[in-house]
């Protein structure tokens, strides 16, 4: 899908950039005899520049907060830095010593086994880029008020490289009995958070992860061990994983009955809606940003699908009346963030920007109207509507329900 790129010099016309005659003195040669301060010495563990202030909060957190959001508008490429991966935990982050941590696999198996971290690390390993998305992500998008920025509207989604053991390999070690059809996973947090996963999926691409972006999984993400169920709602990727029970039915745990089910207008609820459908969002320009001048602005965003790869992303700058293919740049991994970019010359007028993803199953991200028709407004989960941002004549970007 190669796109014709306009002549960059003619198209960009960066009126805002400083002319050479006003070069800052920092760019000029050092004067003879000038003494400059030494910089910092090496450190044990690096930190972002103090001038870069990406945070998992875009508003001050309240005392009872149990989640924090990835600042998607601040990030480039497809990787979420580990320290900016969104958090959602139900009973706090436990402190776990990996030397005493164990994973027990039992139930409908031939040989129940207990694995230490050492046992797991010596097994064959895999490293894969996958997104994790809370099914409550974009929950505020069910209400007309929506969210003011992309961190609050879409920031319960992140993408990292995860390293660990395939669950299929562990299940092979214990020997699954023929009557088994589910896996029940339990975490070592205070509430023993647990979720059930169909055996068919557990035998597919599920990873028992101890690595995240090249280092140990962060405590907020389940240190020392988490279940990673690619493409499924985040709560089934049970953190601080300590027990897997092979069973013939789901456990019907609290977080798959009273929570994480989708209430429909007729009073029925959708249950075990695990897969996160294809979704995309423009991260720049996005809510609470401001375009400083008319002219060239690159529209950038992220797309992902719980069913496979992203085949196509289209962008509209006229509220969905016309669409143009965005350029998909960088890797296009299965069940991972995919970066799209689209050149745009802002004329200084009012514009409604949208993006629309299609995955490799042919599924197309729905409009808000189509989603409301199918599900109503009584759930907070699984909102993957086409998202709109409105660029005002002032350059300010605001949320709009379109």
**Residues interacting with Co ion, by CB under 5 A?**
135, 233, 273
Tell me the residue nearest to Co ion as measured from the CB. Answer: 273
Least separation in angstroms between residue 21's CB and Co ion is: 59
Least separation in angstroms between residue 194's CB and Co ion is: 15
Structure tokens at 334: 């299965």
Least separation in angstroms between residue 264's CB and Co ion is: 13
**Number of residues assigned to the chain:** 402
Choice between 273 and 309, CB closer to Co ion: 273
Q: 3-class SS at 104? A: strand
Least separation in angstroms between residue 136's CB and Co ion is: 9
320 and 352 Cβ atoms separated by less than 8 Å:
yes
Choice between 192 and 275, CB closer to Co ion: 275
Residue 385 CA: distances (Å) to CA of 75, 266, 372: 22, 21, 9
Least separation in angstroms between residue 275's CB and Co ion is: 8
Q: How many CA atoms lie within 13 A of 148 on its CB side?
A: 6
Least separation in angstroms between residue 189's CB and Co ion is: 20
Residue 235 DSSP one-character state? G
Residue 311 CA: distances (Å) to CA of 31, 233, 282, 321: 55, 21, 17, 21
Q: What φ, ψ does residue 349 adopt, rounded to 5°?
A: -95, 180
Q: How many CA atoms lie within 13 A of 275 on its CB side?
A: 10
Least separation in angstroms between residue 273's CB and Co ion is: 3
Question: How many angstroms separate the first and last alpha carbons of the chain?
Answer: 28
Percent of the chain that is helix, strand, coil (3-state, to 5) = 15, 30, 55
138 and 155 Cβ atoms separated by less than 8 Å:
no
Choice between 256 and 314, CB closer to Co ion: 256
Choice between 229 and 310, CB closer to Co ion: 229
What gap in Å lies between CA 238 and CA 186, rounded to an integer?
Answer: 7
Most distant CA pair in the chain, distance: 82
Please name the residue ranges forming H helices in 175-239.
199-202
Choice between 230 and 287, CB closer to Co ion: 230
Choice between 233 and 288, CB closer to Co ion: 233
Peptide bond into 224 cis (omega under 30): yes
Choice between 151 and 273, CB closer to Co ion: 273
Choice between 70 and 135, CB closer to Co ion: 135
Choice between 216 and 269, CB closer to Co ion: 269
- Bridge-based pairing of strands 241-247 and 102-107 is parallel
Choice between 198 and 294, CB closer to Co ion: 198
Least separation in angstroms between residue 188's CB and Co ion is: 24
Least separation in angstroms between residue 236's CB and Co ion is: 9
What gap in Å lies between CA 44 and CA 166, rounded to an integer?
Answer: 32
Least separation in angstroms between residue 274's CB and Co ion is: 6
Per DSSP (E only), the strands in 65-193 are 67-68, 87-88, 102-107, 113-116, 126-133, 157-166, 182-187
């Amino acid at each position: 899908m190669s796109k014709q790129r306009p002549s960059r010099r003619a198209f960009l016309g960066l009126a805002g950039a400083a002319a050479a005659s006003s070069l800052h003195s920092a760019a000029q040669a050092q004067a003879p005899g000038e003494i400059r301060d030494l910089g910092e010495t090496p450190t044990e563990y690096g930190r972002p520049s103090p001038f870069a202030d990406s945070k998992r909060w875009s508003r001050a957190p309240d005392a009872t907060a149990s989640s924090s959001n990835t600042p998607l508008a601040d990030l480039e490429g497809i990787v979420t830095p580990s320290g900016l991966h969104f958090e959602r935990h139900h009973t706090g982050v436990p402190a776990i010593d990996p030397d005493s941590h164990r994973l027990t696999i039992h139930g409908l198996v031939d040989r129940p086994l207990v694995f230490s971290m050492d046992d797991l690390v010596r097994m064959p390993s895999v490293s894969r880029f996958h997104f994790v998305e809370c099914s409550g992500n974009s929950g505020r998008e069910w209400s007309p008020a929506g969210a003011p920025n992309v961190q609050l509207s879409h920031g319960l989604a992140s993408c990292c490289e995860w390293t660990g053991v395939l669950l299929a390999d562990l299940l092979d070690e214990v020997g699954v009995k023929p009557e088994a059809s589910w896996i029940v996973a339990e975490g070592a947090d205070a509430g023993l958070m647990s979720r059930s996963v169909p055996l068919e999926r557990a035998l597919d691409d599920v990873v028992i992860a101890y690595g995240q972006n090249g280092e140990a999984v962060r405590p907020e993400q389940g240190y020392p061990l988490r279940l990673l169920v690619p493409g499924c709602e985040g709560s089934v990727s049970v953190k601080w994983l300590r027990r897997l029970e092979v069973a013939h039915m789901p456990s019907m745990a609290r977080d798959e009955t009273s929570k994480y089910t989708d209430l429909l207008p007729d009073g029925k609820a959708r249950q075990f809606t695990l897969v996160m459908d294809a979704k995309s969002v423009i991260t720049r320009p996005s809510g609470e940003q401001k375009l400083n001048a008319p002219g060239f602005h690159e529209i950038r965003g992220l797309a992902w699908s719980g069913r496979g790869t992203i085949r196509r992303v289209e962008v509209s700058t006229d509220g969905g009346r016309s669409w143009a293919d965005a350029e998909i740049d960088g890797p296009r991994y299965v069940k991972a963030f995919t970066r799209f970019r689209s050149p745009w010359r802002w004329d200084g007028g009012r514009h409604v920007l949208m993006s629309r993803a299609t995955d490799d199953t042919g599924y197309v991200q729905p409009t808000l109207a189509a989603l409301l028709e199918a599900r109503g407004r009584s759930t907070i989960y699984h909102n993957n509507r086409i998202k709109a941002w409105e660029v005002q004549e002032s350059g300010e970007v605001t949320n709009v329900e379109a």
